[in-house]
Amino acid sequence: MGILEETIKELKVSDLDQQVRELSDIITQEERGGKKYDGPDGPNTFLSLFVLKDQRGRGKFITFREVFLTLEREQPETYIIGVWERQVKESNETVGPMKRIKAIEVKENKAEKILRKYAEQLQFLKGK
């Protein structure tokens, strides 16, 4: 958390969207460690992390579900946390489209609190 705390102190008093974007970029670099994956992305998706991959079905009908968690801007200074999933085969071949299965409104007005809410949801989905 030292890097985040230092960055928060260094951020000028700028608009909330810029603060959230800068902190999200730092978290993305730390979490991904240079790895690339095909998750939800877009101009208003500030943070998108892979959460888990679990097995569905039996016998020859086995598929896997990949889950991603995003922090998205709905409007200026209005955010949601999105839970996305897609079905993939064991060979990582996509079976179906990416779907948002849940959207959680974030009712916070500080960048640190918004990202703390995101981290809480991430821990919940990982079962911790």
Nearest one of 110, 49, 60 to 84, comparing CA atoms: 49
- 3-state SS class at 2: helix
Q: Which range of residues forms the domain containing residue 69?
A: 2-126
* 8 A C-beta contact, residue 89 and residue 68: no
Nearest one of 77, 16, 12, 73 to 45, comparing CA atoms: 73
| Count of domains observed in the chain | 1
Read off the pLDDT of residues 38-96 as tens digits, 9 standing for 90 and up.
Answer: 788 888 999 999 898 888 777 677 778 889 999 999 988 899 999 999 888 877 777 78
| pTM > 0.85 | no
Q: What is the dihedral of CA 30, 76, 44, 11, to 10 degrees?
A: -20
